[in-house]
Structure 1
């Protein structure tokens, strides 16, 4: 059955795929690895770790990775950080080599949501790969994502060059703005201070309701009690042991949240496993727990997401940078890197599986590169993303307890950027050449997929 499904998907993938675009005047990157073998090893290890219980999601992941260079890059952050260890470091990595980074910076890891103070904002949305390392790792990864996304959307080389220069210049400007003061600690992008596209996401978030989310994932049973809707093909029932483990995890998690639920709010009404979610995390356990909410009414229930955490991709470059592990690492990083982020976020374990626990927000509206349809929208979005990266890295230093960073990150980075034009040139070259490499890696992966080679 699996081969039949994949064969059908392979036929679909053969139509309309992006061709390799060589970068004029640039030498090809030479790396001593087989990308297919590397990704296979990671995914096979996850399959074994989870005793094959998430192999359905791993199969879906292979289809997604084979679909485009953009999807392949999104889903293979460990390969990117492995390659950084072999490639020359940035000439500007002379300061700020030990700051908190989100780890998997790319255009679709940003979006709108309601902040902890009930104000909608544009923010970074994913800290699963958060770790301490060089700011240049983050800047370069984001730049590669810009190249790949713009190529997929048919943007010209000139347009891509302009946007890369804008991204680097905006990042440097805001690092400089934060240097010497503490404004980064309360910096945010709300409806009054963001671009038209990102403000449109904020307005969507304002119009979203909790009942909309509950209607998507749940139903009222014959007794009028809200439960998960098992007719939804993206949901799968769990056994009694897992149900008990999730209930226990919710109880334990309450002690880790900044603003914990009360005992009555945290009563678990139902649990389910979520399938087909994410790209880089597709193949990890992801469970939903339906909580009672503020009252016993059926329309104020909350959906909590419990997401399996593994070693973050940047850890291979700085294995001893921090001692935070499991779900605690991304939960704390979310607090430090994004102002007024989810104050219900915390951590626990489902049995032996470490998890990040967050509310499945009714107000989340993510960036989609297919919505970036003009040069103005690209420019605005890239600027906003650069500002948030700069603000997060600047805040998560000596100014915040627990980060372990004992100096001013913004001062160190600002001092390291001795030439904006030089950093722009270096970043353009790296991003373009590595995007070419990603395209070659994707072609190799797609060939293996079409040949029905085991990929997990």
Structure 2
């Protein structure tokens, strides 16, 4: 088995050193953060047994865990709760998605403030909800009017948030306009070269829109967000929107890289025009309603040097997630959220069924109905994967503390 530190260092080679140093420090925090930030390592360790090779093929977000469900504003301006990270999306056995999510529950036991028995029960809650949603065979969605519990509380909070208040959190007023606040927490300054490139990329998108002036770029900064993607080329873009200073909009522009699942995939994948086309196409396919401004942008298509491609979308604050901590919420409330996550995963797979090689809905319905035959093996595999994550994190932590890894 490859050395953990060497694998992580190789995978992250070439990333922005300043943000990569943040990622390496974050990975040292706990095993749950380590799981979130090393998706590639998780799939390197996935057991190659029949449970993972004979399950129905489905479109997966590829990086399902507790923190990759959150709220976002759709292109219809309503707020939804759903899977919201598709950087690793690919066609694979659906059990790959399930075991990664279950492993996240087990590894996050301390973060959830849950005992091993509680974590096991939460895994059961997730699987019950997932299988039941598949059996019903109808893809639904979660918005404010259909949500309850902690998810409803989150969406109520977001509905009450005003644009000026949000802008005040991320920008500073200057003269008659705004500039992005480079606070070292959400954003870092961008070079003149990077700014010029971003302007060109956004202008190419704007040219195809009904109101190109809406996307006039006012400011650009490097974005700090997530764990696994820290160090990847990513920007916050402040645009004119409906007018300065209080009707500006913030966009997220992020380079799309190959999926971490790619080296392990045996199922034939579509020939996507670019990595950004893959991410955007599968996000549109799996979510009930797409994120606002979601669009692939290819550097070469707009005269920018290189073959990089980028995903443009409305900026979704990373803090717009449900807080799963029994110090703030009861275990029953957390179980309610995890049950909804199970439903959302099933609905995403049903919504994308029968597309470019994925199993048809009938096969997924049958899989859900046969949960009793695979449930125990899947939980056992999740425990095995979670134990490996803990082992890898300890090895990484020893190396990090010994200053054997750095940007």
1:285-296 equivalences in 2 (<5 Å): 285-294=233-242, 296=243
Distance 1:231 1:422 in 2: 52
Farther off after superposition, 264-273 or 365-374: 365-374
Distance 2:207 2:39 in 1: 31
Q: TM-score of the superposition, structure 2-length normalised? A: 0.91
Query: Does the 8 A contact of 1:113 with 1:363 survive in 2?
Result: no
Distance 1:74 1:451 in 2: 22
**Shift of residue 93, structure 1, vs aligned partner:** 4.7
CA shift digits 1:23-68 (9 cap, x unpaired) = xxxxxxxxx232222112111x233xxxxxx101111111111110
Q: Give the equivalent residue in structure 1 for 2:181.
A: 229
Alignment partner of 1:39 is 2:5: no
**Shift of residue 92, structure 1, vs aligned partner:** 6.9
Alignment partner of 1:89 is 2:49: yes
Q: Which one of 260, 269, 283 corresponds to residue 321 of structure 1?
A: 269
1:85-164 equivalences in 2 (<5 Å): 87-91=47-51, 93-97=53-57, 99-164=58-123
- Give the 3-state SS of the residue equivalent to 1:313 in structure 2: coil
**Shift of residue 145, structure 1, vs aligned partner:** 0.5
CA shift digits 1:106-138 (9 cap, x unpaired) = 011112233332332221111111111111100
Distance 2:240 2:278 in 1: 27
Q: Give the equivalent residue in structure 1 for 2:30.
A: 68
Q: Which one of 237, 243, 257 corresponds to residue 310 of structure 1?
A: 257
Alignment partner of 1:198 is 2:160: no
**Shift of residue 212, structure 1, vs aligned partner:** 2.0
Distance 1:161 1:152 in 2: 14
- Give the 3-state SS of the residue equivalent to 2:325 in structure 1: helix
Q: TM-score of the superposition, structure 1-length normalised? A: 0.81
Distance 1:238 1:337 in 2: 33
Aligned residues, how many?
398
Identify if the C-alpha distance between structure 1 residues 164 and 233 changes in structure 2 by more than 3 Å, giving closer, same or farther: closer
Query: Does the 8 A contact of 2:71 with 2:320 survive in 1?
Result: yes
Alignment partner of 1:379 is 2:335: yes
Identify if the C-alpha distance between structure 1 residues 63 and 422 changes in structure 2 by more than 3 Å, giving closer, same or farther: same
Q: CA RMSD in A?
A: 2.3
Identify if the C-alpha distance between structure 1 residues 327 and 132 changes in structure 2 by more than 3 Å, giving closer, same or farther: same
1:212-223 equivalences in 2 (<5 Å): 212-222=165-175
Query: Does the 8 A contact of 1:205 with 1:364 survive in 2?
Result: no
**Shift of residue 141, structure 1, vs aligned partner:** 0.4
- Give the 3-state SS of the residue equivalent to 1:431 in structure 2: helix
Q: Name stretches of at least 5 consecutive residues in structure 2 with no aligned partner.
A: none
Distance 2:394 2:374 in 1: 30
Q: Give the equivalent residue in structure 2 for 1:442.
A: 393
Identify if the C-alpha distance between structure 1 residues 231 and 115 changes in structure 2 by more than 3 Å, giving closer, same or farther: closer
